[in-house]
Amino acid sequence: MNNPESSARNLVLVGFMGSGKSHVGQRVAKSLGFAFADTDDLIEEAAGKSIPKIFAEDGEDAFRERETAALEQAARGESQVLATGGGIVTRERNRKILRRAGYVIWLVASRETVYERVRRNRNRPLLANDDPEETIRVLLEEREPLYREVADLEIDTDDLTLDETAFGVAESARLALAIGT
């Protein structure tokens, strides 16, 4: 499943909120000896405020503009694990950048798993409403084809611990990026 558009300089993690991108990404970066970057962190650094605050004060469109800028900046790097926000695939421009940035792994999580993982967390403005379960259902349906479109590899994380997921991701990346050969 190699991606011909990519020169595979980085490992990129995509997937829905709660799929474990940031946690897994940090572990995998350590294991590969890669740097770690997270578009959500880059956005917060550039804006000087938190993601919930950006959504509340500037709106989702402004957040998405910042997200594209953060992705463009990060995609210029090499030998890094890049974790991305769950909505990054919604823009076509971002999907192009993702495919060129490196080897892309989609951490797949079911609706039930996502809900279990995110329900106690208040940092996700898109789920701060009366029916987060329904929001998850609708957004997952919209986004699943888009994750699939950019991904070189899909890993189903429902029955895996973060450690197990990180192991699978790291080994797949070692092969795909020919690390240590």
Applying CB under 6 A, which residues contact ligand S3P?
A: 17, 21, 40, 51, 85-87, 124-126
Residue 180 Cβ, how far from ligand S3P at the closest point, in Å? 29
Residue 124 Cβ, how far from ligand S3P at the closest point, in Å? 5
Residue 40 Cβ, how far from ligand S3P at the closest point, in Å? 5
Nearer to ligand S3P by Cβ, of 85 and 102: the residue is 85
Nearer to ligand S3P by Cβ, of 56 and 175: the residue is 56
CB 78 within 8 A of CB 33: no
Nearer to ligand S3P by Cβ, of 111 and 124: the residue is 124
